[in-house]
Structure 1
Amino acid sequence: MPSFVFLQMAVSLTKVELVMLGMMLCGYYSPGPAFGRSARKGNLDTPLRDLHAPMVRSAQAFELEPLCTESILKTFLEGHPGVRGLKAAKAALPWVRNTSASHMETALYLLLCLPVHMGGYGLPKPYLNPLVRIEQASGDITCYPDLYWPGSSIDVEYNSDWAHCGVSAHYLDSRRLTAIVCNDIDYLSISTGQLKNAQDMDNAARGLARKLKHRIRYTDEEWQRKRTRLRGVVLPPVDL
């Protein structure tokens, strides 16, 4: 049961790691089939408490049905008072969002929206991949913005090298971008390179904050150290 796994792992994982696990359980992706398994025996050969780092670094499977939702996790936790790990699970749950499409979308969301004391920028939480209908002269089209703030009409897209390569993908992205911009939705694109470069990410976060009319409250070196630690947890060393 995914909810039980979330609660069980609250004992072993840090808060950020547990949020990432929750995002995966409620998202459209998972580690690939070889994750955590012995090539010789085909069984799990890594203790559960040590699986986070390999999970971040593993190949992934995409476009899967979510195993869980925020509300299911919440209901499960409320139904198990006094269980070991409950306090940590409840502390992580408010940052879990439904329907992330990839680990890197999750990383982008966490870097932007986790609170300053955790190394994030503290931006308002968006919806991830919600259904948005956009009007066109030829008929409405359906889009699923990666990170979407409906109140401010802002769409932030993670443009991975893998998902957006090729002529066909470029054409579809261009057509969607035209429809989005022509319907007064602000569009910001974050590439893999930007996400992995702390200064580029800082510039993007500041620009997004201005669009959201949100003040980023940090300046000191302590926050920068926390940001570095957070980036080390959420970002893999390979492009996804």
Structure 2
Amino acid sequence: MASRLSLAHLMQVGFELCGTYALAEDGPAKQRKEPLTSVGELKSFIESAPNAYGRAKALRAVRYLMDGSASPMETVLAMLLCLPYKLGGYAIPQPVLNYRVDAPPSMRKLADRSFCVCDLCWPAAKLSVEYDSKRYHTDPERQDSDARRRNMLIALGYNVVTASWNQVTDGGAFNRLAQQVAKQTGKRLRYVDPAFTRKHIALRDELLESLHRSAEDGL
């Protein structure tokens, strides 16, 4: 893959391999129970193949991968927020993807479940970023479940930030989202415009290019 894909698309493939979803050619991504591999395993494999064509690019890509993405848009969010400035990201420290938060026994009366899972989580900052999928906007049960999950996280002291498709695709809205995440994680943003904004827009457009067909199915 490294011999024919751009660095950004190569990273998307890496997230997919290390995540619990599989892109489909004619519809939304499909879920799978377990990842096909892990970031550590990919890194070890690449390092053990010194003569492989594309190795340098693959090693560069694996530096920015994260385990556990559950959807293409979680991957896009993580990359846009966390890749370094030179690649078009906001250089925010990496979150834990699909992090499990358990409710202690003393808090069970405030929650209707024993645990919940955060899309992107910075545990030390007690911050959760949740992607609000268009696919579930008209599903009352999913809306109710999401609302109760967010209420539980708030009761446990977490700040919950919601990201939508429109926020991801709107440069100004995403910048405000990134500023919020940076502030709550203690990251001081030091990018230089207009060069950074051009790189960020180019990265966003490249990442979303392969997802437009799925987006119409409710990403």
Could you tell me the TM-score, scaled by structure 2's length?
0.89
Hey, what's the Cα distance between the residues in 2 that align with 1:26 and 1:165?
A: 30
Unaligned runs of 5+ in 2: none
| Cα offsets for 1:156-207 (capped at 9, x unmatched) | 0000111454211111111111110011111000111111111100011011
Contact kept in structure 2, 1:28 and 1:66, CA below 8 Å: yes
Does residue 115 in structure 1 map to residue 84 in structure 2? Answer: yes
What corresponds to 1:78 in structure 2?
Answer: 47
The structure carrying a bigger strand percent of its residues is: 2
Give the superposed CA RMSD: 1.5
Contact kept in structure 2, 1:30 and 1:60, CA below 8 Å: no
What corresponds to 1:207 in structure 2?
Answer: 180
Hey, what's the Cα distance between the residues in 2 that align with 1:101 and 1:163?
A: 15
What corresponds to 2:69 in structure 1?
Answer: 100
Of the structure 1 ranges 163-172 and 200-209, higher mean CA displacement relative to structure 2 is found in: 163-172
What corresponds to 1:186 in structure 2?
Answer: 159
Of the structure 1 ranges 211-220 and 87-96, higher mean CA displacement relative to structure 2 is found in: 211-220
Contact kept in structure 1, 2:29 and 2:72, CA below 8 Å: no
| Cα offsets for 1:113-153 (capped at 9, x unmatched) | 11001111110000110222123334762211000001111
Contact kept in structure 2, 1:109 and 1:147, CA below 8 Å: yes
Could you tell me the TM-score, scaled by structure 1's length?
0.82
Hey, what's the Cα distance between the residues in 1 that align with 2:194 and 2:55?
A: 33
1:133 pairs with 102, 106, 127, which one? 102
Does residue 144 in structure 1 map to residue 117 in structure 2? Answer: yes
What corresponds to 1:226 in structure 2?
Answer: 199
1:91 Cα deviation after fit? 0.5
* Overall identity of the aligned pairs, in %: 33
